[in-house]
Structure 1
């Protein structure tokens, strides 16, 4: 959608025909922060100094490819007619769930190759991925996308939002629900809660930090997705992200209960990992 005068320009800067967008800068900064924080946490839990960065070299590009494939598959009727646009990721069209699935598979492959417990790696990464998602949603804000239905300016003012957010939510003369903001704040709150719980002794066992992330994010995404106007649909009756959120929520709880029945019980997350440990 074309923005009106007074909103934030989605272009950060240009060199001739080379253009850098705020969306890319924000996503890149979010990923870098997540990798930096995860690397520090990984060292505390017994991982090597380069394990997180080496893993990220695989997980990030494969995650981006997965995010694009996921989006294209659910818009196949459009892309089958314009196949050359499948690779035109700069025009928009990526889905976070696709990125998480592909990135998760890359992490699984990497941990098996390196002999690192997969569940521990996911526990280390999970809260920082959630933080990166919180930051990344501001790229959607700059692009004036991932918003909800039309609302009035008065409605937005009654939410006590800063003027720059209200102005940016005006698109072609119409104001919209800032659903990007709802998800950003939900993810930020989840990050804080999961970090707090993760650092408590004898509370979360290995794998449960990652499951906490899945439960928290899927709940928020289910309800926020229902407010958005750009959802991917399965047929005319089901929003894809809502259906997947519900499956992930139920699945994560079931896995949590099942794993708690294991004997001997899973090690606590804070115990970390040593090379001599069986995995």
Structure 2
């Protein structure tokens, strides 16, 4: 038997029973990621002059839309897991077992955010810039769910950080159950590349890149969000090539490899074109805070008239008159 100098052990299970209620690590990671994204997004939005609580209001629309979109993309691109002989189509609804496509989540989540922003008179590109680093950190946290589910890994490796994969079984029946089962024997059946961990670390690096670029160049008009998209897709491209799980292929390539390349090009094109819109939007409010430390800083006198609502005053580009966008 091959001896490995060091390896990363997998959890013995991804589901714990609290009486009749299953507590799923994957679902908990998704929830924690959403909370972190909203919390950090609120701080960054207020720092740009937005009203506190507006990110949460937008999330009420964006999160459900994003979850539905993510599941639809996953089912559409991995339809063979749910449809066909011997398959159970109802499993397509079992989101708690894992399976969310980030492309569908961002696309349909953006539709939900657009609806909410339009209702409140908030410029969507400015909101997207504020929440961008929080979203990619949420994706990193979500990858921990793949760790507990023992999924989305690469091929065999002898590298010191190889991931141990165990056989999980139903402790009552003894039948194999990769998602809901328990590893009774901690002898690894294989040691593989932890591609979920590669993506987790890459995503954290992208978050730092977005924060740095946003501070240095005062990105606006959705350009910080474009940096996030370009950075994420660049990493997803090479990480996807390492994965060995079954996936739909187009032209001999995994569909997510092609999607990453197309979306990367789109993000770069948007970043360049949006630069023509000028300086970053200014969302006028009173006090601001540092988006990363939360420390309050002095701000100009709030020009909003007493009693004005959040929707009464919105985006102003320096050197122009403020554009009022009444609530719709």
TM-score bracket, normalised by the shorter chain, equals 0.7 to 0.9
Aligned 8 A contact 1:10 1:21 in 2: no
> Highest CA radius of gyration, 1 or 2?
2
Question: How many angstroms apart in 2 are the aligned matches of 1:76 and 1:11?
Answer: 24
Structure 2 partner of 1:128: 134
Aligned in 2, Cα 1:273/1:230: closer, same or farther, shift over 3 Å?
farther
Alignment root-mean-square deviation, CA: 2.1
Matches for 1:40-189 after TM superposition, within 5 Å: 40-81=43-84, 82-152=88-158, 155=159, 157=160, 161=161, 166=162, 169-172=164-167, 173-189=189-205
CA-CA distance at 1:138 after TM superposition: 1.2
Q: Point out where structure 2 has 5 or more consecutive residues left out of the alignment.
A: 1-8, 168-188, 286-312, 315-321
Partner in structure 1 of residue 237 of structure 2: 222
- Distance in 1 separating the partners of 2:68 and 2:25: 20
Does the C-alpha gap of structure 1 residues 97 and 10 become closer, same or farther in structure 2, counting only changes over 3 Å? Answer: farther
Between Structure 1 and Structure 2, which shows a larger proportion of helix residues? 1
Structure 2: distance between partners of 1:141 and 1:233: 22
Give the Cα separation in 1 of the matches to 2:135 and 2:30. Answer: 12
How many Å separate the matches in 2 of 1:53 and 1:257?
30
The question of whether the paired residues in 1 share the 8 Å contact of 2:41 and 2:134 is answered with yes
In 2, Cα distance between equivalents of 1:99 and 1:184: 17
Q: What is the TM-score with the length of structure 2 in the denominator?
A: 0.73
For residue 266 of structure 1, the aligned residue among 257, 263, 278 is 278
- What does residue 18 of structure 1 align with? 21
Deviation at 1:46, TM superposition (A): 2.3
What is residue 8 of structure 1 aligned with on the other side?
11
Given that residues 31 and 132 in structure 1 are in contact (C-alpha distance below 8 angstroms), is that contact kept between their aligned partners in structure 2?
A: yes
> Residue 169 of structure 1: SS of its match in structure 2?
strand
Runs of 4+ in 1 over 6 A off after TM superposition: none
Is residue 198–residue 209 contact of structure 1 (8 Å, CA) maintained in 2? yes
**How far apart are the structure 1 equivalents of 2:202 and 2:23?**
28
Matched, 1:199 2:202: no
Taking structure 1 as reference, are residues 42 and 97 closer, same or farther at Cα in structure 2, changes over 3 Å only? same
CA contact (8 A) 2:24 2:96 kept: no
1-structure distance, mates of 2:90, 2:220 = 47
* Structure-1 separation of matches of 2:106 and 2:21: 29
Is 2:269 the counterpart of 1:254? yes
Q: What is the TM-score when the length of structure 1 is the normalising length?
A: 0.85
Distance 1:13 1:171, change over 3 A: closer
